[in-house]
Amino acid sequence: MLKLGMIGEIAMIAKFEEIRKHYLARKSRLDETLSRVEYGKEKFVVTHQGKPIAKLVPLSGRERIRNPRSA
């Protein structure tokens, strides 16, 4: 029979797994979006609560050469 403490630990593990799955799905979607920007030359507007806050655009060849972190 499970003790009360073990039930709490099981619930925490289940919640952690739920958060992990959500994170991995979001990361996968972000990776796909960044690839579409880089290779497909698509542009995306990032919104927060329905308001635009940032834009993802591909770098030109010159910008890519000047930016050493994009290697």
Do the beta carbons of residue 58 and residue 44 sit within 8 Å?
no
pLDDT of residue 10: 83
For the chain, residues with pLDDT lower than 50 are: 1
CA distances (Å), 49 to each of 27, 53, 69, in order? 20, 10, 30
Structural domain boundaries in the chain: 35-61
pLDDT of residue 2: 52
